[in-house]
Amino acid sequence: MHQDSDLCPPFEISLQEGLDSDDIRMTAYEIFFTSCRSSPGFGGRNALQFYSSDHDNASGSPAGAHGTGTAVTSKIKRALGMKMLKRSPTSSGLGPANSTPTPSIGFSTVPGGRSRRPLTCAEIMRQQMKVSEASDNRLRKTLMRTLVGQMGRRAETIILPLELIRHLKPSEFSDSNEYHIWQKRQLKILEAGLLLHPTNPLDKADNFAMCLRDIIHSSDLKPIDTGKNSETMRTVCNCVVSLAWRSADGSPTDICHWADGFPFNVTLYVSLLHSIFDLKEETCILDEVDELLELMKKTWTTLGINKPMHDVCLTWVLFEQYVMTGQVDNDLLSASQTMLTEVANNATKVDKEPIYAEMLSSVLTSMTTWCEKRLMDYHQSFNKETIGVMEHILPLVFSATRILEDTVPEYETNAIEKGDVTSDSAGNKVDKYTRSSLKNAFSKMVEDGNMISKTTPSQQVCETLVRLAKTTEELAFKEKGSFTVVLKKWHPVSAGVAAVTLHSCYGALLKHFLTCNSEITNEMLTVLQRADKLEKVLVNMVVEDSVECEDGGKTVVREMVPYDVDAIIYKFMRQSITGKLKRIKELVQRTKDTETWNPKSKTEPYAQSAVELLKQARDLVGSFFDIPIPISEDLVHELGDGIEKILRDYTTFVASCGSKQNYIPTLPPLTRCSRGSKFVKLWKKATPCAVAGMSPYHLGLEEESDNPRPSTSRGTQRLYIRLNTLHYIISQLNSLDKCLSQSSKIVPSQKNRLAGNSSNGSSRRPHFEHIRSAIMAATQHVSEVSAYRLVFLDSNSVMYGSLYIGNVVNARISPALRVLKQNLTLLSAIVTERAQSLAIKEVMKASFEAYLMVLIAGGSARCFTRADHEMIEDDLKHLKRVFATYGEGLITEDVVEKEAETVEGVVALMEKSTEQLVEDFTVVACEASGMGVSSEQPQTLPMPPTTGRWSSSDPNTMLRVLCHRKDRVANLFLKRTFHLAKRA
């Protein structure tokens, strides 16, 4: 017989050490035989004889109780739905002549294997209970000795173990050891029945009990003396009789209570009931079961058993036999279910005796526990071949549960405390089984797939999740195609519940996986797409299963928390964009601390930080479109805006190079020009009169230094690198914009879809509009700053610092122009071609402003006469020609003329007479101050403010020309009108 350790016995009796199942079985047989002693075959007359169903009546043997053929004649077997036994010739003792014949149930044999006669019930029970002939003979002798002169004595008045100990002597056993073992069993049985599990509660201080307990324990070492003169034996008899004949209320009783205490009595009876199964075909019940059970009823008075208790015990025995024989015969399950119907009927009729309720609860709880353990994991317990077992187990569980709820008040309360489903419908129980089994099956798939750990590589995790989604889908189809067929009888949407459960299980795993990742990859996308496919399959299964449901399956569907794969992908793409943009931002931040504005080579005359920045931006866009899914236009713009924001930050950093105001000299205070400059006097003493009227340019002094070195400083050259960097960025924007705009994966945003715009339509707004304008503004700023630095700082010694110092004739512009040309050449060599035009234009503007400041804000070292106008005008023409003729049309002549208009206007003022200048200044100053113009020159004029917007019509500009005019009229006008002092 197979063993199944997870079947919990309902009658857990703590039998003392030394009693086992064989001891219980032997005692059960002894009680059975004693109870049936007056029946035929047990010592009575006309023993009942049974014939095998395959015995040939033609041989002259009379027909048996069940007749011939294969028809079941047993009422009990017919009621239980059990089949007739079909014995082979070997099993019936008709095997080969040289084989050892084995007696079949129903016949005794003689040497040679020939059937001799049919067996009596007593002989059948002895065989079924595996009792030896020697033991049986000893029992018969004991009963004869015990009942001498008392043949009418009732079995329930016989304390059988005591009688056996009294009447059987050591000489009747093969050896003393066998006798000792036998005697210890009888004493242990008495201990179990009288001391451990008495019918009536036992007082701990009971002297008989204590005395008997001591004698029983002492018998472990050696047998007690059972002779007629044995004091120990008399004590044993006295104690046993006193304990056995006790009653609950102390009144006289006609039954000795030595074997009817619960659960000891039930254990004995269950052992007796197991004898109804064929020893060779353990799943089959003997055809003689009706007669055997009828005889077993005779033990009820001894064991304290009644019909309801018998039905509970038989239900358990049938169920236990099914489990212990490997769960191969569903007829046993059906028989258990049939008996449960009888148990349910009994439970509504009988008084709820505590012992019966406890017994019923123990049996049914044990049965339901075993069944539910398999139903809670039916994918592991059953397969396609054994799924029919579920059809028997499910109604058995439901019946047992209903009986428990109806007859055991504590059952429902305890179940609720444990969180179990009890009083609800069978459908809810099936719901519980479905969810539990699917969760267990899913967990096993995860375990078998060597799922996920913290150290598992990401790619392997993705592969496992994809594979798991496939196996989950297969499990769902398996559930629907096999188990649902059975479960749907009790739960109309069992397949839907299974789908919801699998959806939840995979969803939890998917959620855990997603929390461990922050950026989307192709592998992750594969996982999400496979999860989306799985979800569609499971949702469709729920919908199909809910067609006939009252609420259309809404209750089940509401349990499904959507994976929302599209939103997850969108979320992760945004996270991925944010993460990569953050790394690019960190690069820009590091650049701000480390950039030196030195080019890598002549072929790459721009900052390497810009190269790395644009490379990472291109890589980000590339990886963004590498994801093989349609991408929302909104997300594309979000990426473009993020890149643009970083580029604007970098552009601001490139343009953070100060201001041109940092290099423009501070305007000197307005003073009157001295007519007798010490510098001029010294120049006249040192220079002949003929030469004094000629400039170094006219003398050819400019040839003394043929190749002057450019004066462009390293700081100015670094500004040129900034300028190149800005142009490099703007040169890369078109390709970056193209990558973001022309991908076939871009789909219209929801707004555009509603408007009916196509993904390639004009609805797309261009990228990088703001950064283009920002770069142009930054380019203008850097060009301006570099130009003013070049002119006012690097070239100060030949331009603002020395031009026209002392007098015009000896400090002409020629040296400054030679240096300017060399600086422009270097500029062209460093600055990228596309940036040269603006850079040179800014140098031109700075040069014109420097030249203008020499004329009107040159300080105390400069003074001019009307006669100097021609030389100054000539120098301006040479300055303009440098820019108009430099390069191949980088700056047109019109542009040069336009930028030189202010300077030319001021030079034109220097041509006027002092009187005309004074008159023009007076008119302009009065108009600007609101005084109006009168025919007479006013004695007091307001000092015109310095606006920095120089022009020939600006009163402050005209005043500065007058301040630099070296003649008496100007000197007197300035002294009288503005009280200006002479220059220091």
Q: What is the pLDDT of residues 130-153, one digit of tens each?
A: 999 999 999 998 888 887 756 678
Integer CA distances (angstroms), 504 to 432, 435, 464, 517, 629, in order: 15, 10, 18, 20, 26
Confidence (pLDDT) at 160:
93
Average pLDDT rounded to a whole number, residues 609-630: 87
Q: What is the DSSP string of 667-736?
A: PPPP-BPPSS-HHHHHHHHHS-HHHHTS-HHHHTGGGGSSSPPP---HHHHHHHHHHHHHHHHHHHHHHH
Q: Give every strand in the sheet of 49-50, ordered side by side.
A: 49-50, 115-120, 107-109
pLDDT bucket at 239, cuts 50 / 70 / 90: very high
How many angstroms from the chain centroid is the CA of residue 89? 65
Confidence (pLDDT) at 753:
52
Q: Which helix (H) or strand (E) holds 633?
A: helix 633-654
What is the C-alpha separation between 236 and 215, in angstroms, rounded?
Answer: 8
Q: Which residues contact 629 (CB under 8 A, 6 or more apart)?
A: 525, 569, 745
Residue with tokens 């017989």: 1
Name which of 741-755, 847-861, 919-933 the model is least confident about: 741-755
Q: Which among 599, 641, 635, 653 is positioned nearest to 617, based on CA atoms? A: 641
Q: Which among 101, 122, 116, 96 is positioned nearest to 55, based on CA atoms? A: 116
Residue 310 tokens, joined: 């018998």
Residue 241 tokens, joined: 């009789």
Q: Which helix (H) or strand (E) holds 916?
A: helix 914-929
What is the C-alpha separation between 764 and 742, in angstroms, rounded?
Answer: 10
Average pLDDT rounded to a whole number, residues 586-591: 93
pLDDT bucket at 938, cuts 50 / 70 / 90: low
Q: What is the pLDDT of residues 271-316, one digit of tens each?
A: 999 999 999 999 999 999 999 999 999 999 999 999 999 999 999 9
120-124, 202-206, 684-688, 824-828 — which one is most confidently predicted on average? 824-828
Q: What is the pLDDT of residues 661-694, one digit of tens each?
A: 999 999 988 898 875 545 444 444 444 433 333 3
Residue with tokens 């939103």: 567
Residue 413 has pLDDT above 60, yes or no: no
3-state secondary structure of 982: strand
CA atoms 435, 437, 439, 445: torsion sign: negative
Q: What is the percentage of the chain residues whose pLDDT exceeds 70?
A: 83
What is the C-alpha separation between 435 and 440, in angstroms, rounded?
Answer: 9
Q: Which residues contact 568 (CB under 8 A, 6 or more apart)?
A: 514, 528
Integer CA distances (angstroms), 263 to 11, 29, 324, in order: 6, 18, 21
Q: What is the percentage of the chain residues whose pLDDT exceeds 90?
A: 53
449 versus 260: the higher-pLDDT residue is 260
Q: What is the pLDDT of residues 840-852, one digit of tens each?
A: 999 999 999 999 9
Confidence (pLDDT) at 269:
96
Average pLDDT rounded to a whole number, residues 644-655: 95
What is the C-alpha separation between 631 and 190, in angstroms, rounded?
Answer: 86
What's the chain's Rg over C-alpha atoms?
59
Q: Which helix (H) or strand (E) holds 689?
A: helix 689-692
Residue 503 has pLDDT above 80, yes or no: yes
Q: Which among 585, 719, 578, 598 is positioned nearest to 647, based on CA atoms? A: 585
Confidence (pLDDT) at 15:
52
Residue 914 has pLDDT above 90, yes or no: yes
Q: Which helix (H) or strand (E) holds 107?
A: strand 107-109
What is the C-alpha separation between 928 and 546, in angstroms, rounded?
Answer: 92
Confidence (pLDDT) at 686:
47
Name which of 439-443, 635-639, 810-814 the model is least confident about: 635-639
Average pLDDT rounded to a whole number, residues 918-924: 92
Confidence (pLDDT) at 68:
34
Confidence (pLDDT) at 536:
93
Count other Cβ atoms within 10 Å, centred on residue 938: 14
Residue 96 has pLDDT above 60, yes or no: no
Name which of 14-23, 725-734, 934-943, 946-955 the model is least confident about: 934-943
Average pLDDT rounded to a whole number, residues 705-723: 84
pLDDT bucket at 450, cuts 50 / 70 / 90: low
Q: Which among 518, 517, 513, 546 is positioned nearest to 530, based on CA atoms? A: 513
Is the distance from CB of 743 to CB of 631 less than 8 angstroms? Answer: yes
Integer CA distances (angstroms), 252 to 204, 206, 335, 556, 875, in order: 22, 19, 42, 66, 152
The answer to whether the pTM exceeds 0.75 is: no
What is the C-alpha separation between 880 and 891, in angstroms, rounded?
Answer: 11
Residue with tokens 């721009």: 606
Average pLDDT rounded to a whole number, residues 505-523: 86
Confidence (pLDDT) at 417:
53
Query: How high is the mean pLDDT of the chain?
Result: 83
Average pLDDT rounded to a whole number, residues 54-75: 43
Confidence (pLDDT) at 934:
56
Average pLDDT rounded to a whole number, residues 29-52: 69
Q: What is the pLDDT of residues 519-552, one digit of tens each?
A: 778 888 889 999 999 999 999 998 888 877 766 6
Average pLDDT rounded to a whole number, residues 431-455: 83
- Determine phi and psi for 947, rounding to 5 degrees: -100, -20
Confidence (pLDDT) at 764:
59
Is the distance from CB of 184 to CB of 206 less than 8 angstroms? Answer: no
3-state secondary structure labels for all residues of 214-245: HHHHHCCCCCCCCCCCCHHHHHHHHHHHHHHC
Q: What is the pLDDT of residues 170-226, one digit of tens each?
A: 999 999 999 999 999 999 999 999 999 999 999 888 899 999 999 999 998 899 999
Confidence (pLDDT) at 61:
30
Confidence (pLDDT) at 48:
40
Q: Which residues contact 702 (CB under 8 A, 6 or more apart)?
A: 696, 814, 815, 818
CA atoms 53, 59, 62, 68: torsion sign: positive
What is the C-alpha separation between 275 and 29, in angstroms, rounded?
Answer: 10
pLDDT bucket at 449, cuts 50 / 70 / 90: confident
Q: What is the pLDDT of residues 6-23, one digit of tens each?
A: 788 887 665 555 788 899
Is the distance from CB of 34 to CB of 143 less than 8 angstroms? Answer: yes
Residue 775 has pLDDT above 50, yes or no: yes
704 versus 808: the higher-pLDDT residue is 808
Integer CA distances (angstroms), 365 to 9, 329, 689, in order: 10, 22, 137
148-162, 663-677, 917-931 — which one is most confidently predicted on average? 917-931
**Rounded to 5, what percent of the chain is helix, strand, coil?**
60, 5, 35
pLDDT bucket at 108, cuts 50 / 70 / 90: low
Average pLDDT rounded to a whole number, residues 929-954: 77
Confidence (pLDDT) at 277:
94
3-state secondary structure labels for all residues of 816-829: HHHHHHHHHHHHHH
- Determine phi and psi for 100, rounding to 5 degrees: -80, 115
Confidence (pLDDT) at 722:
96
961 versus 90: the higher-pLDDT residue is 961
pLDDT bucket at 750, cuts 50 / 70 / 90: low
Q: Which among 68, 106, 46 is positioned nearest to 292, based on CA atoms? A: 106
758 versus 977: the higher-pLDDT residue is 977
Whether the ω angle into residue 111 lies within 30 degrees of 0, i.e. cis, is no
Beta strand pairing call for 746-747 and 115-120: unpaired
Q: Which residues contact 930 (CB under 8 A, 6 or more apart)?
A: none
Residue 84 has pLDDT above 90, yes or no: no
Confidence (pLDDT) at 812:
94
